[in-house]
Structure 1
Amino acid sequence: MAGFKEYDQYDATGLAGLVKGGQVTPLELLDEAIARCGKVNPAINAVIRPMFDLARVNATHPVDGPFSGVPFLLKDLIASYAGVEMNSGSRFFKGFVPDQDSEFVRRIKAAGLNIFGKTNTPEFGLTPSTEPELFGATRNPWDPLRSPGGSSGGSAAAVASGVVPMASAGDGGGSIRIPASCCGLFGLKPTRGRVPSGPEHPDGWFGFIAEGVVSRSVRDSANFLDAVQGSYPGQVMQVGAPAGLYADAAQRAPGRLRIAFSTDPALGETLHPDCKAAVLDAVALLTELGHDCVEVRLPIDREAFIYHYTVLICAELAATRREGEITMGRKAKPSDFEARTWALIRLGDSFTAGDVARSVWWMTQFSRQWMTTFAPFDALLTSTLGEPPCKVGQLRPTSSESIELLAMGHLPIGFIAKRPEFVLKAARRVFNYCSQTMPANVTGQPSMSVPLFWNSGNLPIGAMFTGRHGQEDVLLSLAGQLEQARPWFNKRPPTYSA
């Protein structure tokens, strides 16, 4: 079985160039990716559904696109691939096979990418650590005792370990940027509406979710965004077309930018010293590159944000369960879900339409205030996470919490509705960890995690930059400059496929 041993010396853009130049075949690239997956996947549990035979057929008839013949992995959530099972990390959807591709997958295929497997995700993408009961925990290639983040943890672990140069990811509360930070990768969440996720599940989580990739190079994310961006007929959430190619922006000097920065804990109680150090290190680098950096305080009511965000996500989960019952043709049971998920579904059932509308209103007012505050700046810099990559199991419910969750899953709806502290208690530990990412999901702004810092334990800690609506080009120009100033492409974790 032929391969291509120099595979990891190239990013996806580089591999596509080799294919176009006739220096390597799509089948050779695929064989190499499959071999690398076989080498590391038993240790990291990133790929949960191989599609090798299907990919080999596709490799013999590659689509002519910007990434023609390049191996690719698809996150097993939202992005449906016709004829291939999609579980969304949940026992409830075991055996579910979509009958059509999502628009996102259609564009991935049209770009020439060869999907050869699906990656692990927490149940419905709910947690910033990828540990679904259905498939087990994914491990971080930088430290197998730690999580690669979530919910795109399987994709990030596969990219960091050298299986693929980039893989699909989706971000409803940080799920592109969190795993990018945990795994030393680049991850850009596009502006709301930039990349279509429909038509089956358009504008999910009240528009908070954006689809994209995690990648080892900035130009791969830029070229991918060029390939998949743009509205389709009937798309509800739309954004104006970019002025030019994102690939060009990634190679263009950004000019002198005015960048706000903060070491506030935001939605957390504290910011870990390593995360604060990562921000200040980035500020020093930005200043050296000629940018103006201004320290600010974050205008956020922590308790109110957590409450209203959780109300909306719980409402979505309740709707997902009801829609899932129609799709699967049976009633859902508590045993179909993890205890935490079922408890959140029950919380969603307990809220009235008025409760949900009030939370939408609150988030709208928050978005206006947040974007008005940062309108004078080209970007806002914070840490991506509130802590370094967490240990596997760190965010799971404790024994006492598990008992409470099980009890809450069976309490009368009326009782749950009168106890809003359940919402805050159920969510607080997660928000302490991913304390910085969620505001950009609510506002819809583009936001990226850039791997500029490794702590004394050799764990990556991302610097997060959030830009103005529709200005991914500014972020990509800045990212390209940072990548040149402090290259990360050749950094290799201890668990690696070569």
Structure 2
Amino acid sequence: MEVQEYRACDGLGLSALIRQGKVSREEVLAAACATVEENNPALGAVVRTRFEQAAREGRSTDPAAPFAGVPTLTKDLLMTLAGEPLAFGSASMADWRAPQDATLVCRMRAAGLTILGQTVTPELGLMGITEPRAFSHPVNPWHPEHSPGGSSGGAAAAVAGGLVPLAMGGDGGGSLRIPASHCGLFGLKPSRGRVPLGPLFGEVWQGAVVEHALTRSVRDSAALLDVINGMDAGSPWPLPREQGFLAAMERPPGTMRIAVSLGDPLGAPLGTWLDPEVRRAVEQAGRRLEALGHHLEWVDPPVEGGALADSYLTLYLGQLAADLVWISEQTDVPVCRLALEPATRAIGRLGRCLPARDYEIAKRYWNQVAWDMAAFHRRFDLLLMPVAATPAPRRGALYPSRSRERLMSLLAIPGASHLALKAGLLKRLAADSLRQTPFTQLANLTGQPAMSVPLHVTPDGLPVGVQVLAPMGEERRLLALAAQLEADSEWGRHLPRQEALPHDRPIGAIA
């Protein structure tokens, strides 16, 4: 199989070629491995490979499985493979080995997917960019000077760069939708609890984190959700296995009532400035939806962005403090001696000082927002909003500066973390961390499904996605609309050209 033929296919397309006998699974795997070996030194997307294991596992794949013989990549975070390394993007976990396969990994293999390796993520998946100190920094295949976003930035770079037709990722505050927007891909965040995280984890970030994939086609995302969804033993979310996600996108969505917003209630309290190209992307998407027969109304969601950001960051701090204790237990290294990036260590110290009362108050606010959005969706079937405030930022532009890291290191002084929280550092962190991406956390807090759809490319050649939110449990509604937009816009023609990649230089850490 020629590499260009391999790169031109989505996952279901590759599987169909294999079932039809036009290519063999071995030929597809060889093309995939050759593509990774040739292009990853420039992309910096894949942190480790497992080609030999993939070949062995592929020989036992059920030929009738929907993705039989289709190569993919998992994220270097949460998606455990028994006995194999998983570093969570951190030097502190560099030598850790997973005790067992994740339920998601088992379901992927049953669906016929062949796991070639893991993609890079920021340390512990904490940032909306992917620039870990311990591993490579992936480039955006559309423009190598720019970031693919995060935290599933390695996955996005791998798919947009043609290494694999789909790659797994997770979304705890926009970590699938932000890279999808920056890299011209389709990114669906399913409803809370739709995809299991077990058996090593029951829920992550109080259920805000949901795992799924970045894809080039809507049908790959829908077909994958058909085979990986549903609770596993011990799941805290009693969602049984459902079918019909692929079938839903094969039917016209009908006329829907869609609210359109530029996200001012979410961004304004944080000082967010909306790039004109993002505004243009939302407005053009609205006009396209009207032309397709949908009813649109400019209405903001009933959310106060400052309170939402405070609530999100409060849980973020508390969860990180607990995660660092877990890492210490797994590695037998005291928390104070873990090999962590300065920003991670500082935020962990703040989380350690967070009162349990404040944590619980923040979590209760999630429930209020969910009720408010449920009432909103009784008027509107969907909500159209930006994904991020700007197109993909330049690599290194959003990583904490050295001077900022030195300032955060002062939190090591006894009592400094308590004083920082009392002095309002949480609000400062919220503004600094979420100013560029204040629009995606809403769906994580409410639990409702949301997607990024690649409908716009700037004059500078950078893609800009638009976000669509649906009521809790209504992934089918999103997928039906996404398929309609995909057919209308033919967004696949916008994939970046392979020759644009910087083949002449490896990608390493940014100083």
TM-score, length-scaled by structure 1: 0.96
Partner of 2:47: 48
Task: Kindly state the Cα deviation for residue 415 of structure 1 after the two structures are TM-superposed.
Answer: 3.1
Partner of 1:492: 495
Q: How does 1:35-434 map to 2 (within 5 A)?
A: 35-64=34-63, 65-239=65-239, 241-242=241-242, 244-265=243-264, 266-267=266-267, 268=270, 269-333=272-336, 336-412=339-415, 415-416=418-419, 418-434=421-437
Change (3 A) 1:104 1:86: same
Identify the range of structure 1 (61-70 vs 417-426) with the bigger mean alpha-carbon deviation: 417-426
How far apart in 1 are the matches of 2:61 and 2:377? 45
- Contact between 2:173 and 2:440, CA under 8 Å: does it hold in 1? yes
Task: Kindly state the Cα deviation for residue 461 of structure 1 after the two structures are TM-superposed.
Answer: 0.4
- SS of the residue corresponding to residue 213 of structure 1 reads strand
- Contact between 1:347 and 1:416, CA under 8 Å: does it hold in 2? no
1:470 aligns with 2:469: no
| CA-atom RMSD in angstroms | 1.7
Task: Kindly state the Cα deviation for residue 419 of structure 1 after the two structures are TM-superposed.
Answer: 2.6
How far apart in 2 are the matches of 1:86 and 1:442? 27
Task: Kindly state the Cα deviation for residue 406 of structure 1 after the two structures are TM-superposed.
Answer: 1.2
Number of equivalences: 496
- Contact between 2:68 and 2:112, CA under 8 Å: does it hold in 1? yes
Task: Kindly state the Cα deviation for residue 492 of structure 1 after the two structures are TM-superposed.
Answer: 2.7
Change (3 A) 1:122 1:418: closer
How far apart in 1 are the matches of 2:460 and 2:398? 20
Change (3 A) 1:468 1:412: same
- SS of the residue corresponding to residue 433 of structure 1 reads coil
Task: Kindly state the Cα deviation for residue 208 of structure 1 after the two structures are TM-superposed.
Answer: 0.2
How far apart in 2 are the matches of 1:275 and 1:323? 39
Task: Kindly state the Cα deviation for residue 356 of structure 1 after the two structures are TM-superposed.
Answer: 0.8
Partner of 1:440: 443
Identify the range of structure 1 (4-13 vs 254-263) with the bigger mean alpha-carbon deviation: 4-13
Task: Kindly state the Cα deviation for residue 5 of structure 1 after the two structures are TM-superposed.
Answer: 4.1
Gaps of 5+ in 2: 504-511
Q: Which amino acid aligns with 1:343?
A: A
Task: Kindly state the Cα deviation for residue 364 of structure 1 after the two structures are TM-superposed.
Answer: 1.6
Identify the range of structure 1 (293-302 vs 84-93) with the bigger mean alpha-carbon deviation: 293-302
1:452 aligns with 2:455: yes
- Contact between 1:259 and 1:379, CA under 8 Å: does it hold in 2? yes
How far apart in 2 are the matches of 1:404 and 1:26? 53
Q: Which amino acid aligns with 1:391?
A: R
Q: Which amino acid aligns with 1:208?
A: A
- SS of the residue corresponding to residue 448 of structure 2 reads coil
- Contact between 1:13 and 1:220, CA under 8 Å: does it hold in 2? yes
- Contact between 1:452 and 1:488, CA under 8 Å: does it hold in 2? yes
Deviations 1:219-277 (A, max 9, x none): 000000001011223211133554x4111111110000100010133234222211111
Partner of 1:12: 11
- SS of the residue corresponding to residue 487 of structure 2 reads helix
Deviations 1:270-322 (A, max 9, x none): 22211111000000000000000010123222222222211101111111111
Change (3 A) 1:414 1:422: closer
Identify the range of structure 1 (189-198 vs 476-485) with the bigger mean alpha-carbon deviation: 189-198
Deviations 1:336-390 (A, max 9, x none): 1111111110011011111111111122212212322233111100011111111
- SS of the residue corresponding to residue 199 of structure 1 reads coil
Change (3 A) 1:271 1:414: closer
- Contact between 1:143 and 1:494, CA under 8 Å: does it hold in 2? no
Partner of 2:509: none
Percent identity over the alignment is: 37
Identify the range of structure 1 (335-344 vs 362-371) with the bigger mean alpha-carbon deviation: 362-371
- SS of the residue corresponding to residue 434 of structure 1 reads coil
Change (3 A) 1:155 1:136: same
Identify the range of structure 1 (366-375 vs 247-256) with the bigger mean alpha-carbon deviation: 366-375
Deviations 1:112-162 (A, max 9, x none): 100011000001111110000010311100111111010000011000011
Q: Which amino acid aligns with 1:456?
A: P
- SS of the residue corresponding to residue 489 of structure 1 reads helix
Change (3 A) 1:460 1:334: farther
Q: Which amino acid aligns with 2:8?
A: Q
- SS of the residue corresponding to residue 455 of structure 2 reads strand
Task: Kindly state the Cα deviation for residue 56 of structure 1 after the two structures are TM-superposed.
Answer: 1.8
Task: Kindly state the Cα deviation for residue 328 of structure 1 after the two structures are TM-superposed.
Answer: 1.1
- Contact between 2:184 and 2:495, CA under 8 Å: does it hold in 1? no
Partner of 1:21: 20
Gaps of 5+ in 1: none
How far apart in 1 are the matches of 2:468 and 2:252? 16
Q: Which amino acid aligns with 1:255?
A: G
- SS of the residue corresponding to residue 490 of structure 1 reads helix
Q: Which amino acid aligns with 1:263?
A: L
Identify the range of structure 1 (414-423 vs 424-433) with the bigger mean alpha-carbon deviation: 414-423
How far apart in 2 are the matches of 1:232 and 1:41? 34
How far apart in 1 are the matches of 2:230 and 2:372? 28
Change (3 A) 1:4 1:25: farther
- Contact between 1:92 and 1:332, CA under 8 Å: does it hold in 2? no
Change (3 A) 1:420 1:165: farther
Q: Which amino acid aligns with 1:426?
A: L
Q: Which amino acid aligns with 1:458?
A: G
Deviations 1:186-206 (A, max 9, x none): 010001111111121122001
Task: Kindly state the Cα deviation for residue 490 of structure 1 after the two structures are TM-superposed.
Answer: 3.0
Task: Kindly state the Cα deviation for residue 334 of structure 1 after the two structures are TM-superposed.
Answer: 5.4
Partner of 1:33: 32
- Contact between 1:89 and 1:122, CA under 8 Å: does it hold in 2? yes
How far apart in 2 are the matches of 1:264 and 1:470? 23
Q: Which amino acid aligns with 2:247?
A: D
- SS of the residue corresponding to residue 333 of structure 1 reads helix
